[in-house]
Structure 1
Amino acid sequence: LIIEGPSFDPIFSPNRYIYQVYMGLGGSVLIFFVLFLLWTRPITRYIKQIEEGINRIVNKDWTYSIPVKGKNELSFLAKNINWMTEQMRKRFEKERKVEQAKNELITNLSHDLRTPLTSIIGYLTLVKDKQYKNSEELEKYIQTTYGISFKLKNLLDELFEYTKLSLPDVDMQFQEVDLGGVLYQLAGEYTPMFENRGLSVKVEIPDEAVFISLDIEKMIRVFDNLLSNAEKYSHESGDIEIDLYTNDKQVITRISNTTDQINSEELSYLFDKFYRMDKARSSEVAGSGIGLSIAKRIVELHQGEIWAESEKEKITMYVALPFPHDKEEKEIIYEDL
């Protein structure tokens, strides 16, 4: 049986084939382009964000921080830019503090030096114009001028010392010292001055060594200032007490003396620059009102605390300094030595 019909063999068409190839290639390119845009869009946006951040930094907005996204080259770049910005900010703040310290020094000098300079000029004018009755009065004018000049020099020295300590890069030379031994030595040096004024001295310092990390030269300045104030402002035949004790975290020095009762408001200003109590201002006690400010700054540089308390006719100054973190290890070393 033979059956004949139309043939169903595919007929090859070159035009149709080329069309299909172009369509497939075009579709692939389109898909690739869409996927490329979807993949690069976050990166482009992040680059734009970094660019905007750099523009803000260039305009001195050093508080701005570029977000760090992911872990790739761009995030590494953002992290480095943030580090650079932080360094620039610290440098700017340091320079600003230095400038503020300079301006403060100029302001304080013009304010606090006017009175002694005026007095010196006044006395020298009297001498220059020979407005004195005799040689004794002339000598008095000269001695008074010399005394005021000496006070002026001390004031300038303290002003420059305070300004130097106020700078952000104060040079500190720490070393391990026996604080009890230092206080014993200072108390011995001041005892003759105390006794000349009829002041009785009571010292209570532990027999065992109390080692602590200090800039010894600067810390002696603190205790010297406190002992000097105790001598200057104590009542005649009063008492001065010097104590040293410790707790788990601090070494505390207590220096007290008898004086006029001080109210809490005045106590809060004692460590301010140029502050002197009314009694001190009206007396002949020498002082610039900056010594306690210097003491406070030095204690702060040691990460410590300084404060004053008053009860009736007794004022007490406290200096609390922190023990080093490896206190126990240091004690073992000192015992072996």
Structure 2
Amino acid sequence: MLIPSLFLTILLLCSLLLRYHIRLRKEIEGIARTTKDIRSGQLNRRYRLYTRHNYLQDLGGELNRMVDSFQAALERIRTLEDERKRMISNLSHDLRTPLTSLLGYMEALRTDPSLTEEERAAFLRIAADKGQALMTLLEQFFELARLESDGSAPELEEINLTDLLPEVVLGFYPDFTRVEITPSLDLPDKPVYARGDAAYVRRILNNLLSNALRYGTDGREIGLSLREENGLAWMEVWDRGQGIPPQELSRVFDRLYTGEASRNRNIRGTGLGLTIVKHLVEQQGGRIEVSSLPGERTVFSVGLPSLSVSRKM
């Protein structure tokens, strides 16, 4: 009786081991098939293991997370490639347009003897404007390339923003006079100090005010304000012009993105100024935000680390 019982026990154990082996093999084969599908480009496939083996569940989970990361990286690469193509296309167009116009006017000056002195003077003035637009675009493009390559670092120091903001606005006096707008300047009673690079801050405010003068003059109000909140010194440039549609707000800092307003050739920008502003702000450890109610109020807010509290101590 002992030998048959032992034999049956061994047979049962072998049967269980064989069943375990077959199930494990099927699960491993499933992992292999899914891996081949993913390798062939089917990135929507995932490992679904109905198993009680913890190590296989852990393996499947890790593989799924790896595929998720790979898919996210691939999507990012595709987005960057699309952005690169769009940037090259836009840059090519923006370079070609003023250059073609410039060459056209220069050719007319060279070959048309019937032009009057007034016409020649007008053509020269237009050609100079086109050349300046081309130079501005190239300068901004190379400035952005330098910023993105980390070729420079800001010289962070204490800045008295209460003194700096009026200086910047005063530099735009001819521009505001030309469009017959008196800028609003709202400063707190006490000085506001921030940690940053004064040259960077001037470039930021110059770009934002230029942007407001380009797109916001139809509202007849442009302003600059200063406040402190949650450890940051906030500079705000605002206008009551045409504004930015909600669907464009998330893209205003993209390279060469000029939005709906760019369709009007009279106010077309380069699409690089706000991208440069964003880089300058971030290199100083600051924040930049934008809000807009089209036709009512558009605000660009730049926050730098405040030093006013530390000065009081």
Question: Aligned partners of 1:82, 1:322: CA distance in 2, in Å?
Answer: 41
Query: Residue 185 of structure 2 aligns with which residue?
Result: 202
Amino acid corresponding to residue 35 of structure 2 in structure 1: I
Unaligned runs of 5+ in 2: none
Give the drift of 1:177: 6.7
Number of matched pairs? 300
Give the drift of 1:124: 2.7
Query: Residue 136 of structure 2 aligns with which residue?
Result: 154
Amino acid corresponding to residue 207 of structure 1 in structure 2: K
Question: Aligned partners of 2:15, 2:211: CA distance in 1, in Å?
Answer: 81
Alpha carbons of 1:56 and 1:90: their partners in 2 closer, same or farther (altered >3 Å)?
Answer: same
Report if aligned partners of 2:245, 2:292 keep a CA contact under 8 Å in 1.
Answer: no
Alpha carbons of 1:123 and 1:170: their partners in 2 closer, same or farther (altered >3 Å)?
Answer: same
Alpha carbons of 1:226 and 1:58: their partners in 2 closer, same or farther (altered >3 Å)?
Answer: same
Alpha carbons of 1:97 and 1:25: their partners in 2 closer, same or farther (altered >3 Å)?
Answer: same
Q: Which has the higher contact order (CA 8 A, sep 6+)?
A: 2
RMSD: 5.0
Q: Per the alignment, in what secondary structure is the counterpart of residue 269 of structure 2? A: coil
Bigger radius of gyration, 1 or 2?
1
Alpha carbons of 1:127 and 1:47: their partners in 2 closer, same or farther (altered >3 Å)?
Answer: same
Question: Aligned partners of 2:30, 2:152: CA distance in 1, in Å?
Answer: 43
Are 1:190 and 2:169 matched, yes or no?
A: yes
Question: Aligned partners of 2:212, 2:221: CA distance in 1, in Å?
Answer: 10
Query: Residue 307 of structure 1 aligns with which residue?
Result: 291
Residues 144-164 of structure 1 show CA distances to partners (whole Å, capped at 9, x for unaligned) of: 323202202323454677799
In the TM superposition, what are the counterparts of 1:163-312 in structure 2 within 5 Å? 181-182=160-161, 184-194=163-173, 197-198=176-177, 199=182, 202-205=185-188, 207=190, 209=192, 211=194, 221-231=203-213, 240-248=222-230, 252-257=234-239, 262=242, 272=252, 273-275=257-259, 277=261, 281=264, 283=266, 287-288=269-270, 291-292=273-274, 295=277, 304-309=288-293
Question: Aligned partners of 1:43, 1:164: CA distance in 2, in Å?
Answer: 56
Give the drift of 1:81: 3.0
Are 1:108 and 2:83 matched, yes or no?
A: no
Query: Residue 79 of structure 2 aligns with which residue?
Result: 97
Amino acid corresponding to residue 105 of structure 1 in structure 2: M
Amino acid corresponding to residue 11 of structure 2 in structure 1: L
TM-score w.r.t. length of structure 2? 0.66
Alpha carbons of 1:336 and 1:36: their partners in 2 closer, same or farther (altered >3 Å)?
Answer: farther
Question: Aligned partners of 2:152, 2:62: CA distance in 1, in Å?
Answer: 31
Amino acid corresponding to residue 137 of structure 2 in structure 1: L
TM-score w.r.t. length of structure 1? 0.63
Q: Percent identity?
A: 20
Alpha carbons of 1:45 and 1:30: their partners in 2 closer, same or farther (altered >3 Å)?
Answer: same
Unaligned runs of 5+ in 1: 1-16
Amino acid corresponding to residue 146 of structure 1 in structure 2: A
Question: Aligned partners of 2:152, 2:27: CA distance in 1, in Å?
Answer: 45
Give the drift of 1:105: 1.3
Q: Per the alignment, in what secondary structure is the counterpart of residue 317 of structure 1? A: strand
Residues 255-283 of structure 1 show CA distances to partners (whole Å, capped at 9, x for unaligned) of: 345x7x64x776876875323649x9475
Residues 67-99 of structure 1 show CA distances to partners (whole Å, capped at 9, x for unaligned) of: 586775544543543454344334323321221
Alpha carbons of 1:187 and 1:164: their partners in 2 closer, same or farther (altered >3 Å)?
Answer: same
Residues 277-318 of structure 1 show CA distances to partners (whole Å, capped at 9, x for unaligned) of: 49x9475x6733554566578779966520234677xx5524
Give the drift of 1:41: 4.6
